[in-house]
Structure 1
């Protein structure tokens, strides 16, 4: 397992992170603890959860395992979404986040989390209020670092600049959706991260299973897959992805995997782990077998030719201005 700094901090985290969204929903406590043990055994030290995962059950499952391993792992969790029915039981307000953080600490059985993240932007709450809460929580010893998830480019840049201007705890990480089928964050968001020293923690690195090769162009998903087990959601998601670009990307991944003699998951994860600004890729496995397959990506680095093949097949679609045509970002400026 390889390690990188958590954004511009000095804390080292494994380049693969164990995500726990399946815990308590698709994976029971025994299976979840098996995943945690396996991840630790292969050298992983970064675990990500959230209060809303299975309505707190994911954190409770992690909390049942964590005390015996606390000094060996970096723990991240998130707050923002409803954990109750009251009008103040959601959002990025000081009121909600103070309750949410304390509840997360109780469920996790620890006195602090290493990374506390705003799970999404809150249009009702001034971002200054959220940032000041993070700063106070760091000073109180309840969190070590602050991060955000699912922010747009302008939201992330505003938050980063405000922490500097107000001399508050900086935003050290962003957790966005990012994979070979979803590269739109490359238009602006990754540039903000690079400019501000913010580490990227991609979620859904296998695009909900698409990049494992489990789906086909001529047959809708059925059976023991996330789309097959949820017909209503599955039909919509399959229709959205069922296009020429998707199958082009999948064939490119399959080609590289075949030539290397590894799974398609390993190729997709290795490509993502080596993208600029990426700190750690969040894995999401339902079974120990899936986790073992994903962990095969640890330490794998694709060749320049393999990366170029995947880059070309998955290039995000650009219609025109401001990301194409006369608005394209020129990296060099010619002076007459």
Structure 2
């Protein structure tokens, strides 16, 4: 178990991504995945109010609704649920009334009295940051949210958020959710230092680079794959990207785990990372995620993966 920032949220060191629930995993498949994750010790679930508004016929909130139904059905103890605001079609941006209304809607869909970890999903340049920080602080003061966090914010804006929160005397964020994986390491240049400076934990998304780091996509031609993410993952299958997979496979084999598990273990070994986010659209994929949370790489293995991934093949 690992603690998120300065909070009292002590979580399994991997968050189950809820972006697939109601999208590539229907309700029954989602329940199977959640059951398997929880049975394996998982207790940290990540979602957003906008999942999966991009699907034809969806309005957003489908993932939260499925998670809420699962929580009501199973009544699991000690589960931490994180969700986000700013991208739901009905609750765009981070103006104070929007933040409040979106949080209340998420609470209703999730069927809980309090959101454990509430992220500002994307920065909103049109709303004064002071207004957003105060709105998040009010949610904590009023008991709707336990802890706040930020996702997809620049280092400077994170520092500014914390400064404003301290001036206002309201809750400060405890976590940052950035894009971070073996083929996207720019986070180390700016976000990791600010996390270290402010005592924040990283909960990285795209931990498996849209599936590329599972080793499934070894060609830049995604036409043979039917997966919604195949095209995005295949873009990483450059000669350099394939070198990463070679080292990743060797490291995984040394521990008797998959490449996906090894990739997650590498992220967990990085400074300030508390729990990578990874999703499963099939219950058969859950064991690899669980293994990624319990496999500890040696310093030499981390160094080997660091060396082979020093470059970034694409700005994705």
TM-score for the superposition, normalised by structure 1 = 0.86
What CA distance in whole angstroms lies between the structure 1 residues aligned with 2:112 and 2:229? 35
Task: Give the corresponding residue for 1:166.
Answer: 168
Indicate the SS of the match to 2:11: strand
- 1:114 maps to which of 95, 113, 116: 116
The Cα offsets for residues 14-59 of structure 1, whole Å up to 9 and x where unpaired, read as 1011111000000011111111111111111111111100211111
Paired residue total:
305
The Cα offsets for residues 160-216 of structure 1, whole Å up to 9 and x where unpaired, read as 222122221011011111110111010011100011011100111110111111112
Report 1:274-293 matches (<5 A): 274-293=269-288
Question: Does the 8 Å contact 2:3/2:10 carry over to 1?
Answer: yes
What CA distance in whole angstroms lies between the structure 1 residues aligned with 2:30 and 2:205? 18
What CA distance in whole angstroms lies between the structure 1 residues aligned with 2:178 and 2:312? 19
Q: In terms of mean alpha carbon deviation, does 30-39 or 250-259 score higher?
A: 250-259
Question: Does the 8 Å contact 2:208/2:264 carry over to 1?
Answer: yes
Task: Give the corresponding residue for 1:322.
Answer: none
- In the TM superposition, residue 281 of structure 1 has moved relative to its aligned partner by 1.2
- In the TM superposition, residue 312 of structure 1 has moved relative to its aligned partner by 0.1
Task: Give the corresponding residue for 1:10.
Answer: 8
RMSD of Structure 2 on Structure 1 (CA): 1.7
The Cα offsets for residues 49-85 of structure 1, whole Å up to 9 and x where unpaired, read as 111002111111011011342642111110101423x
Indicate the SS of the match to 1:174: strand
TM-score for the superposition, normalised by structure 2 = 0.92
- 2:20 maps to which of 19, 22, 33: 22
Question: Does the 8 Å contact 2:220/2:234 carry over to 1?
Answer: no
- Flag the 1:221–1:312 CA change in 2: closer, same or farther, 3 A: farther
Q: In terms of mean alpha carbon deviation, does 177-186 or 211-220 score higher?
A: 211-220
Q: In terms of mean alpha carbon deviation, does 122-131 or 256-265 score higher?
A: 256-265
- In the TM superposition, residue 111 of structure 1 has moved relative to its aligned partner by 1.3
Unaligned residue ranges in structure 2 (runs of 5+): 53-59
What CA distance in whole angstroms lies between the structure 1 residues aligned with 2:41 and 2:255? 23
Task: Give the corresponding residue for 2:241.
Answer: 246
- 2:198 maps to which of 189, 192, 196: 196
- 1:63 maps to which of 63, 68, 74: 68
What CA distance in whole angstroms lies between the structure 1 residues aligned with 2:211 and 2:247? 16
Indicate the SS of the match to 1:297: helix
- 2:37 maps to which of 36, 39, 58: 39
